[in-house]
A and B are shown apart, each in its own frame.
Chain A
Amino acid sequence: MALTIISLMKQVPLPSEMRMGDDGLMDRTKAKSIINIDCGYALEAGLQMKIDNPDAKLIVCSMGPPSFDVSLKKAISMGYDEAYLLSDRRLGGSDTYATGLAIATMLKHLGYAKGLNEDFVIVAGRQTSDGDTAHVPSQVAENMDLPQATFIEVADLKDGFVTAKRIIEGGYQMMKLPIPCALSFTPTGVDPRRPSLEGAVKARNSKVTVFNIDDIGLSDEKIGLSGSPTIVAKVANIVSQRAPAKMTDGHGEVELVSNLIENIKAGKNNVEIKEKKAAKEKKRPEGFKDVDFRDGASGILTWAEVVNGQISRPSLELLTPARNLATELGNDTKVMTLIIGKDLGDMPKELIAHGADEVIVVEDDRLQEYRILPFATAFEQVIKDKNPEIALFAATTAGRELAPRIGVKTDGGVTADCTALEIGEHFDRKKKIVYAPILESRRPTYGESKLATILGFVCPQISTARAGTFPVPTPDASRKGKIEKFTPKLPEKDFVTEIIETVIGEGGMQGLFEADIIVAGGRGTTSDGMKMVKDLADALKAQGINAEWACSRVMVDEGVAEYARQIGQTGKTVRPKVYVAIGISGAVQHIAGMVESETIIAINHNAKETIFANADFGIVGDYEDILPELIEKVNGGFTFGLDPK
């Protein structure tokens, strides 16, 4: 049978329009619908594969309301051959777990599965702009028992093997995997092509095949609310309002810069937020039955990711919420940490010093580098053995693909990218049941405008935590804990994926999204071609800070910087901890790309510029004067309040 390239696609509201409500709230209904950005790149990746495999059939699949028809037809106009939509009211309320299952079932119905037609490859977007979980590709892969590669930038398909470039923290990895397999794509590869008119005519005359769940043989208990192990318990608005900038007083650059540093140390101006009425102490309604769904599960399991022979910082951060949760749960709840690798040395001890009670060590020569399949298998076996009630992962590229894959293995849901983790209780008013204790995972959603609380009712309750949200616990070398070896049974098929090479330090522009501080130059930094902007970023790097430099659109037009570094509406949207805008006037287009930064510092010679209305700290002065002084201070140890790596 001929090769089939299957693209998974979701239609989403246009993200920029979703932010634009008059009241500052998200309004999905008025927003125009588009193909999710990452899915557009996956569609193109499929079309690129067709170049080397001209006989391949291209199909596009989606799950959602009938209105998704528009985007499916757009895929046909781009060059896809067939389109399928799983559309059923009973699917409403499905979480990512149920979605992954439903899509895998639809593909099986179409004949694509292990044991049926195996000559296929699945291409999907990394994540959607309205969900941001990045779960579904992993969950589809696990449900179909396929190898996977996520966060792929470009991929080639030749002779039954996919060679893919996977973006990882600070670099990339080249990997080779056999088909059938599932790939998810970042929006950094080949830009999605525009439809041709001929394609649009073809799409107009084509028909999207629509299935309901009965058609594909999926029972309604497995989908929708009843089939979803997680629920959204509540959604609160995040009120983000920037207080007026603290402007720096002083004469001459030396005084100005030192006053700026004092201001930064003293902190931002605060917005006066009207105190909300304190939440009323919830009275437990009468007649409610307590349910402890943990059913004997106990303890918190975390994953210590090893990168370049070290425990990654986000994995250490994870021990902070883990300890807090253990304390909240009481009853001597244990924090257990799983570490997998080769030659782990003192790393288990380091984990205990940072707060783990028990470290489970898996050492295997084949596991020196992270690979999803054997790691997921090892995890599954450890979970069976230890029966933890909660499992936590750092939301790194590895954590974000591993957690959902494990979630499918344990029939549980996953909450992605949390910024707060607490123990609470949940009242089911219909069934008159109180679920307690339960993990409340909170995550920003809808473009950071709301905070959703997600609950899962299957143990382990799995969440990934956003890197940089929690502090690394202060290590205590005298802490005692148990170190235990574990030898998982790893089948050969877990090693079908080959890592060809791992390159760190050439991550392309992914660094912009990960930087703690971005130094951005605008028109005012033309005089030396942004040299001092780059110098400032370098000086910060020399201090061990994760710094990057970027620019406003005019610098790209000037040819001073490449487009990949452009921040703003037509460039990148970033949210570093600190954003230093130098010589940038603050056109609305630029503001749109950086307004969500935690702290914004503006340096401009014109006090009237709009940028100051969007900053926390401001300094009015000439680029040529202020920057050398500031660079000197950084060389002397000033890091804008950021901790070195």
Chain B
Amino acid sequence: MNSISTDVLIVGGGPAGLSTAIALADKLKQRGENKRIMLIEKGSSIGSHILSGAVIRPQIFEQLLTTGEFDGIPFDSKVGADVTVKLNESGGETKLPFHPPYMSNDGNYIASLAQICKYLATLAEERGVEIYTGFSVDSVVYDSDNKVIGIKTKDTGVDHHGMKQKNFQEGTTVKADITVFAEGTRGSAVKTVIDKLYLDAGKNPQIYSLGVKEIWKVPEGRVKVGSVKHTFGYPLKDKQEFGGGFIYGLTDNRVAVGLVAGLDYQDPSFDVHAAMQIWKTHPYVSKILEGGSVIEAGAKTLPEGGWNSVPKYYADNMMIVGDSAGFLSTPRLKGIHLAVESGICAATAAADALVKNDTSKESLSKYEELVNSSFIYKELYPTRNMRAVMQDGMILGGLKMGVQLITGGACLMVPKTEADSDTTKKTKEFSSQSFQNRFAGKLEYDKKLSFDKVTTVYYSKAMHDEVQVPHLVVKNPEQFKSSNINEYGLAEASMCPAEVYELHIDKKSGDKSLRLHAENCVHCKTCDIKSPNSGIIWTTPYGGDGPEYNMM
């Protein structure tokens, strides 16, 4: 058995994991401690699986980094004009005279989070952190008392059925005094830990949105560098689909555009990728993009449940940071600064624990204390009910949101939060007009402004080794066929932004079956979150597989 050991293992090289690594290295150095910090990342390089808007509140990086390092952060541009508009179906738009609460972006920066992570990785390496990219976690390792003691990476060189091939390589078991889970949204390893240790007991289920993003190169003069535009309305239907679009002006005549929609929708035919394509045809968007071309595209989910959905984020020998813990401020649409802050808090607790040589739950409870006295609590607690009330639509929901601003988050008649996998209705039971019917005729793409899903996959540069067990697991094939396919009409085919799921109808017998194209997967995790009956389990493919984002 391949085995190595380390003092601290961080799983995931996003902003949360890298901040944990940097802060921990600093704190241990201050105390004169020499400890091994390892960070593993499933992407082929740091940043290759990172996708974010991203408009970033920069202040937190001043705490994490030295002044010189802070000045070197590769932000793209400072936010200038910042508007929110409602797009109308007729093709016009209405500008909001004010920003929705928490939405002001004064002093913030537009950036590629992938680029920032690459930068943070170099700073972590300089501090002695060992970063290994292209390794994915197969399973979490526990001791006999069900305490986390590390992870095992995936075996490679197996065929579709898991049979060892000539080039078989056994995965490596990493034993760590402390394991920090920083896997990002819907972490596949931490999900198993939360289940096993009941860390979400008494909490709301986590709920998510899916964002589909493209970076375009557009003709000169289309968009001001640093301009931030948010849209709501078209093509999303109020009370049915929560979300909106964003258009960020980048340097070099590039523009980042995207549409984010809540996965708490009921319509089994709703399709965020398709909605994003239709959104781009609205004149408010198309006048910016026309004549340009896509450089990169991709998709990712984000946890929007807020404070009430945050699980217990530490246990014996382990902590959870960033999106994996659900630290994301929904009304601000931002989680990066919270990810970094949670990393700093976790690092402080970890350093104490290592010095005391006590990594028990009690010792690591310092992490919770620190979070509760940090701005994570200050931002998330008063807005804890905000996402939930948006199920009531923009008007009533907006009103209730206003109430919360005054009451510090308390509100009557907060709708119950259901897991996204439970909100989808069966095709027959969904009585409103379906998304597919609503936009019949608009779902053909011109391949200039709007694209099909495989083209998005192409621009994500996603690749997966052909020779491996498909990483998307149908939990119960019988139920999947009788319910997911026959009752929900394979909602997975609509929800997935990357054409991983295809409904195959046999021409002769009319028999319907699932055809799985796991190699298209862009690692957004939507299926794992939204599949009815929780029918799909997202597991990691070989390390290094997946999208190759460069500036997302």
Q: Could you tell me which A residues sit within 8 Å of B by CB distance?
A: 22, 44, 47-48, 190-201, 204, 526-527, 557-558, 563, 569-570, 587-589, 610
Contacts A196-B170, A197-B2 given; indicate if A191 touches B467 (C-beta within 8 A): yes
A22 contacts which chain B residues (CB < 8 A)? 217
Does B156 reach chain A (CB closer than 8 Å)?
yes
Does B168 reach chain A (CB closer than 8 Å)?
yes
A-B contact pairs, 23 of them (CB 8 A): A47-B167, A190-B166, A190-B167, A191-B165, A192-B167, A194-B134, A194-B156, A194-B157, A196-B172, A197-B135, A197-B153, A197-B172, A198-B2, A198-B3, A199-B169, A200-B132, A200-B135, A201-B4, A527-B507, A557-B515, A569-B463, A587-B455, A610-B447
Does B40 reach chain A (CB closer than 8 Å)?
yes
The answer on a CB contact under 8 Å between A193 and B169 is: yes
Q: Which residue of B lies closest to A591 (CB)?
A: B458
A199 to B167, CA, bound (A): 14
Q: How far is the CB of B460 from chain A (nearest CB, A)?
A: 12
Additional pairs, 7, CB under 8 Å, beyond known A200-B135, A526-B507: A190-B166, A194-B544, A196-B2, A198-B4, A204-B130, A527-B507, A589-B458
The answer on a CB contact under 8 Å between A193 and B463 is: no
A201 contacts which chain B residues (CB < 8 A)? 4, 130, 132
The answer on a CB contact under 8 Å between B2 and A44 is: no
A198 contacts which chain B residues (CB < 8 A)? 2-4, 172
What is the total number of residues of chain B having a CB less than 8 Å from a CB of chain A? 36
B167 contacts which chain A residues (CB < 8 A)? 44, 47, 190-193
Q: How far is the CB of A95 from chain B (nearest CB, A)?
A: 33
Does B174 reach chain A (CB closer than 8 Å)?
yes
A201 to B2, CA, bound (A): 11
A191 to B519, CA, bound (A): 18
User: Which residues in window 482-537 of B have CB below 8 A to A?
Assistant: 507, 515, 517, 519
The answer on a CB contact under 8 Å between B455 and A588 is: yes
A191 contacts which chain B residues (CB < 8 A)? 157, 165, 167, 467
Does B542 reach chain A (CB closer than 8 Å)?
yes
A190 contacts which chain B residues (CB < 8 A)? 165-167
Q: How far is the CB of B167 from chain A (nearest CB, A)?
A: 4
Does B454 reach chain A (CB closer than 8 Å)?
yes
A196 contacts which chain B residues (CB < 8 A)? 2, 153, 156, 169-172
The answer on a CB contact under 8 Å between B543 and A194 is: yes
Q: Which residue of B lies closest to A48 (CB)?
A: B166
A193 touches which one: B3, B4, B153, B156 (CB < 8 A)?
Answer: B156
Does B466 reach chain A (CB closer than 8 Å)?
yes
A610 contacts which chain B residues (CB < 8 A)? 447
Q: Which residue of A lies closest to B44 (CB)?
A: A32
The answer on a CB contact under 8 Å between A197 and B454 is: no
Q: Which of B130, B156, B166 has the most CB of A within 10 A?
A: B166
Q: How far is the CB of A154 from chain B (nearest CB, A)?
A: 9
The answer on a CB contact under 8 Å between A193 and B40 is: no
Contacts A194-B156, A196-B171, A570-B463 given; indicate if A588 touches B458 (C-beta within 8 A): yes
A363 to B171, CA, bound (A): 57
Q: Which residue of A lies closest to B515 (CB)?
A: A557
A201 to B457, CA, bound (A): 32
User: Which residues in window 157-179 of B have CB below 8 A to A?
Assistant: 157, 165-172, 174
A192 contacts which chain B residues (CB < 8 A)? 167
A22 to B156, CA, bound (A): 35
A588 to B457, CA, bound (A): 10
Q: How far is the CB of A176 from chain B (nearest CB, A)?
A: 21
Quick one: CB contact mask for B422-456 with A, threshold 8 Å, 1 for yes? Answer: 00000000000000000000000001000000110
A47 to B157, CA, bound (A): 14
A204 contacts which chain B residues (CB < 8 A)? 130, 132
A47 contacts which chain B residues (CB < 8 A)? 167
A48 contacts which chain B residues (CB < 8 A)? 166
Q: Which of A22, A48, A191 has the most CB of B within 10 A?
A: A191
Quick one: CB contact mask for B106-142 with A, threshold 8 Å, 1 for yes? Answer: 0000000000000000000000001010110000000
The answer on a CB contact under 8 Å between A557 and B517 is: yes
Q: Which residue of A lies closest to B455 (CB)?
A: A588
A229 to B174, CA, bound (A): 53
A194 contacts which chain B residues (CB < 8 A)? 134, 156-157, 169, 542-544
B3 contacts which chain A residues (CB < 8 A)? 198
The 5 A-B residue pairs whose C-beta atoms are closest, nearest first, are A197-B172, A193-B167, A198-B2, A194-B156, A198-B172
